[in-house]
Amino acid sequence: MTRRIKKLLIANRGEIACRVIGTCRQMGIKTVAVYSAVDAHALHVKMADEAVFIGPAPAAESYLVAEKILDAAQRTGADAVHPGYGFLSENPAFAEACANAGITFVGPSADSMRAMALKGAAKKLMEDAGVPVVPGYHGADQSVETLTAEAEKIGYPVLIKAVAGGGGKGMRMVFDAKDLPAAIEAAAREGQNSFGNPELLIEKYIQKPRHIEVQVFGDSDGHAVHLLERDCSLQRRHQKVVEEAPAPGMSTDMRRAMGTAAVKAAEAIGYQGAGTVEFIVDVANGLDGAPFYFMEMNTRLQVEHPVTEMITGQDLVEWQIRVAEGQSLPLSQDEIEVLADGHAVEVRLYAEDPFNNFAPSIGRISLFDPFADTGPTGRIDAGVQAGDEVSIHYDPMIGKLIAWGEDRDRAIDALADLVSNTPVAGLTTNRDFLLRALTHPEFRAGDVHTGFIEAHEETLLAKPVTSATDYARAAVAIIAARDVRPHDSDPWSVSDNFRLNLPSSEQLWFDGDDGEVVTAHVSLNGQTIAVTVGDTALNAKCAHLVDGILTYGENGLRKRLFAEISPSLVTLVSHDNTLTLQRHARDGGADDEADGPGTIVAPMPGKILDVKVQDGAPVERGQPLLVMEAMKMEQTINAPRDGIVSGLNLKAGDQVADGAILLTINDE
């Protein structure tokens, strides 16, 4: 029995909400957005036909409150709810509440969610269905003694996982028995804080794994198919950075075996809608014929679904809606395999600093255009645009950049070109890191695994060194921003350090990488800005800064950069580099040390999860002091040196601002 959806409420925010709205427009379905206090002017709110305010910024008080979502649906007459991914997408109670309210839930049944919600139970179910699983322990006894004994049976290294976890939360690698108790404590705490469930499982840690997942779909007629696989091996902190389809180097026989296992997993729970069966593949001896094991099933659409859409030509959100309406799957397995064509690669553009342990960044986006022309082979999926804020309350992903090519090399080339032509400014992002990853020779060769970033951190994560030419270009941008060339005949209409019969000149200062002040000597003579930094000279001809775009001539070549100038910062974005320089005040104030030695400040705004020491206690260098969480990431703050703790008055649950003084370590 089919039931046509006429108005759909999206119970999520950001990129996925915009993505669903786009498909609904094509299908003639009206849309309703929900938004929190900080999202009133968000892109998904602007795109939807209607929008309903649902509460304060914290997700637990807005996007995660099922009653508010259902009330918004009933008030607007929405006859269906799409949960997006995250938040309520894998919450069986929410799916049941929708059904009880007579609202179609665009997703699997509550029973299917429950079957796959807890990793331990899901592994047992897969074992019974004949799907290979990783050796491990997923029993009910959660005592430290039992978990320790089971880890010894499995053999180190082991991987500890929160049974209700996902996205790397509640996960710890343990290589030595002495580190197990602390890892168990941290993983259980993170599982409780993130998912409301502290239970853990332990499994064999595969030291050179690839993360390959299979997109599955089922309908109410009992049919299930797969839409090939995606390789999501390039990760940081167990969270995906680069995804591609199909998996590089996979043989036809292995693809068929993995696809069959995934469909078997879906059929074992009578699955309906979009789902992803995730496998870990041991590639210590290469991919061909490598053993693969079931990890988990995500009972929702995945963030990386666009690469599957690019190689199959199918809209998976449309498939979700049609299945939810009671329609049969649009294509058979044979038809899908005939349609599959080419290769697609996706990267996640985050507000974070890869060169500072991937610390999240917050602030206003001054440059980013999700609607830019990407050509026929590119795509940008985003929920923000220039002028929007990235806040502490939600995931710091700015958007996803996706490209298709006839083969893998062409797809990577197309994506690298798309990233190069997508400047972002206003806050720190991983854009330059993504370019490094896409152009790395081993990635290009298809030698990817989940430890890829750590294995190549010297080239991928080496902090960029600011050159003298970089400082000179920043000086050119500052001068061009003033537009000192007179527009009329009045010589007193501008203040440009004019000197009779001599070029105007001045000095500009920047904070250098090593803490030293860098001086740029600038002279302006007609249409030429001459800058000298140390022994480096740069002559910029006909420099103009219009609408944030700096153009000038350099060594006979025309340069074009995005430039953002403020009294304290200069940001320049080129095709392969993002440069942010701190301007130095002439009074030397920027040299002052605001906090004395041993002062520990919050690296970002967040919440204190655990306090490991007491005020007045002696500590040693490297000893854990505090555990804090911000933007879905847990971070342990360690002592930078030996000393005595003072000024500590924090407790678990306290919120701290960015840069707030947490404690001080004084000399003994």
Chain-centre distance of CA 565, in angstroms? Answer: 27
Residue 72: partners with Cβ closer than 8 Å, 6 or more residues away: 9, 32, 34, 52, 54, 78
CA 294 and chain centroid, separation: 24
In sequence order, which residues have a C-beta less than 8 Å from that of residue 625 and are 6 or more positions away?
600, 611, 612, 613, 619, 637, 638, 639, 645, 662, 663
Integer CA distances (angstroms), 526 to 319, 471, 504, in order: 62, 22, 10
Q: How many residues does the chain have?
A: 668
Q: Count CB neighbours of 62 within 10 A.
A: 23
Catalytic residues: 300
> Cα–Cα distances in Å, from 597 out to 594, 600, 618, 624, 625?
10, 9, 16, 18, 16
Q: Which two tokens stand for residue 115?
A: 């079957």
**Dihedral angle, C-alpha 412, 413, 415, 420, nearest 10 °:** 140
Q: Which among 481, 363, 366, 385 is positioned nearest to 425, based on CA atoms?
A: 366
| Alpha-carbon span 381 to 368, nearest angstrom | 12
Is 285 exposed, middle or buried, given 0-12, 13-18 or 19+ CB atoms closer than 10 A?
A: exposed
- The helix/strand/coil state of 405 is strand
Whether 195 contacts 211, CB under 8 Å: no
Helices and strands (DSSP H and E) totals, the chain = 18, 37
